[in-house]
Chains A and B, each alone.
Chain A
Amino acid sequence: MRLTACAAFLVAGCAKPFQHGEDVDAGSPSFSTEIHASPKLTSIESAETDGLGRPVRVACVTCHGVRDAGAGFPENAAVLKDFHAGLSVAHGALSCKACHVDRHGGPPMLRLATGEELATSDAIRLCAQCHGPKYQDYLHGSHGGMNGYWDLGRGPRLRNHCVDCHDPHVPKYQPSRPVLPPKDRFVTPAPVGSHHG
């Protein structure tokens, strides 16, 4: 009898789910969340580099504010001969016109599927029209990096913009080499220069 009770207790003990304490009302946050204003939204890398070897960025309006983009958009990036030559695009089957507005002079604009025009700094709305579930995740803090305070009652937070991590023309996250290989005694490090995994 006692054994049965003991066994039941053990099983129940193991099956007990995670439970946190009483919910609290955290009130409305006194600090705000800011979205990083990426320079990629208003400028482009040039072939020049600065003293630190970083590419010099040129504001879009430097050219687009004064010059005519010409006879409309090309069908694809491959036929670009001028400033954006060599631009690689791998974003579904989208053409330039899907997101860019063909304007003559004035600041560059983006365009929603509805035809509504957007400033380039509002690009998140453009991304969100196709990537709804990702946008929902983003709004709830479960997609996209951030810095600052988890507790907005005590300080502000800075969120990444979509284009901080994804190149709008080639949005797939690019593979990279991992950092800080472990060197503790429980692991036998892979020989230097080997690339198996």
Chain B
Amino acid sequence: MDKAKRRTLKVLGSTLGAAAFAYAIEPLRAWASDMSLGELLQKHYRELTPDEMRAVLARLEADAEAKYGREVTIEDIRPTPGVELGYALNLSVCIGCRKCAEACHVENNHDRTTNNSYIRVLEMEQGSFDLEKGTTTYDHAVPSPGKYYLPVQCQQCDNAPCVKVCPVQATWKESDGIVVVDYNWCIGCRYCEAACPYHARRFNWSKPEIPAEEINPNQSYLSNRVRPQGVVEKCTFCLHRTRKGLLPACLEACPTGARVFGNLLDPNSEIRWVLAHKRVYVLKEELGTRPRFFYYFDN
């Protein structure tokens, strides 16, 4: 083969190669048109070094300001050793007012158009445990005679089906018992949403719409920062509050004091008193999910 022919083929080949490569990544470029390179190349949460994490948080804060017109603080708050967070709810006291769901809606920067919240309150027939028969759309004065009210949110299972089915490990259980989602790693396949027996996960069908003045600016990476479109989200026991020792927003909003929160490892905590002295049960115990969310009755 003479030199000229070889050169021609080389040039042609490399041109074709470049064209083919450009053509091959075209869909990716179109899909990522609203995505910065930093976001595209971001590592998994658990692989980020402290410096990388700082850069990611700064980028997310700038993004939030650009997209929502509000200056926010996004922290990365880690679990405290010696703490396992637990929640208990007194069904004898809950009146179904849904103030917990509303507080969650506000605290966790949920989409305003869908009234999204991590909590669903089921109105149940007294004497029935069938969640299928519960209704979430009741709109009359509560408590209604013959009914009881069952608020359901993420149960932070020890044996969590959602974690098992995630094909990309975008959701996992942290040392304090909280099951979290890396919203930047989630691919939006919704396997976890289908796997959750408590219907606790939500999918962002559209970009969450929140007026700038209503945004809660105290945010964290794993919990209440405004989630991107096309990812799954869930209750995190308000980890941006509870990992600092504060009570969750739903508990503070509860007018009846039906909710009890604390450290399961502290034998003197309120929640341990409830577990020791009340008639406690968990939802769908037969599934073996081992929740950290307990329901109980007074006598």
Is A150 within 8 A of B137, CB to CB?
A: no
- Interface size class of chain B, counting residues whose CB lies under 8 Å from the partner chain: 35 or more
Contacts of B246 in A (CB 8 A): 148-150, 155
Contact with A along B229-260 (1 / 0, CB 8 A): 00000000000001011110001101111001
Q: A20-B84, A150-B262, A197-B123 are in contact. Are A145 and B255 (CB under 8 A)?
A: yes
Among the interface residues B90, B114, B141, which one has the most CB atoms of the partner chain A within 10 A? Answer: B141
Is B265 within 8 A of A18, CB to CB?
A: no
Is B137 within 8 A of A188, CB to CB?
A: yes
**Which segment, of B60-68, B219-227, B284-292, faces chain A?**
B284-292
Partner of A180 from the list B95, B105, B244, B268 (CB cut-off 8 Å) is: B105
**Which segment, of A21-29, A53-61, A84-92, faces chain B?**
A21-29
Give the docked Cα–Cα distance between A145 and B93 (Å).
11
**Which segment, of A44-52, A97-105, A119-127, A136-144, faces chain B?**
A136-144
Contacts of A183 in B (CB 8 A): 113-115
B274 part of interface (Cβ distance < 8 Å): yes
Q: A20-B84, A26-B269 are in contact. Are A146 and B282 (CB under 8 A)?
A: no
- Chain A nearest CB, measured from B232 CB (Å): 14
Is A194 within 8 A of B247, CB to CB?
A: no
Is B270 within 8 A of A179, CB to CB?
A: no
Contacts of B262 in A (CB 8 A): 141, 150
A140-164 contacts to B (CB < 8 Å): 140-151, 153-155, 157, 160
B71 part of interface (Cβ distance < 8 Å): no
Contact with B along A173-193 (1 / 0, CB 8 A): 101111111111111111000
Q: Total A-B residue pairs with C-beta atoms closer than 8 Å? A: 166
Is A150 within 8 A of B263, CB to CB?
A: yes
Partner of A23 from the list B88, B115, B252, B267 (CB cut-off 8 Å) is: B267
Q: A133-B299, A141-B260, A151-B245 are in contact. Are A195 and B139 (CB under 8 A)?
A: yes
Is A179 within 8 A of B102, CB to CB?
A: yes
A70 part of interface (Cβ distance < 8 Å): no
Interface of B is mostly: loop
B3 part of interface (Cβ distance < 8 Å): no
Is A176 within 8 A of B97, CB to CB?
A: yes
Partner of B137 from the list A146, A151, A187 (CB cut-off 8 Å) is: A187
Contacts of B267 in A (CB 8 A): 23
Partner of A173 from the list B95, B202, B282, B292 (CB cut-off 8 Å) is: B95
Among the interface residues A16, A20, A187, which one has the most CB atoms of the partner chain B within 10 A? Answer: A20
Interface of A is mostly: loop
Is A144 within 8 A of B257, CB to CB?
A: yes
Give the docked Cα–Cα distance between A149 and B296 (Å).
22
B136 part of interface (Cβ distance < 8 Å): yes
- Chain A nearest CB, measured from B239 CB (Å): 12
Contacts of B102 in A (CB 8 A): 179-180
Is B82 within 8 A of A24, CB to CB?
A: yes
Is B158 within 8 A of A18, CB to CB?
A: yes
A196 part of interface (Cβ distance < 8 Å): yes
Q: Can you name 9 extra interface pairs (CB under 8 A) apart from A180-B105, A181-B98?
A: A18-B282, A18-B292, A22-B265, A23-B267, A24-B266, A26-B263, A133-B299, A178-B121, A188-B137
6 tightest A-B CB contacts, nearest first: A141-B270, A154-B245, A151-B245, A14-B288, A144-B257, A175-B141
Binding site for B on A (CB under 8 A): 13-24, 26, 133, 137, 140-151, 153-155, 157, 160, 165, 173, 175-190, 194-197
Binding site for A on B (CB under 8 A): 82-84, 86, 88, 90, 93, 95-99, 101-102, 105, 113-117, 120-121, 123, 135-144, 147, 158, 177, 199, 202, 205, 242, 244-247, 251-252, 254-257, 260-270, 273-274, 277-278, 282, 286-288, 290-292, 298-299
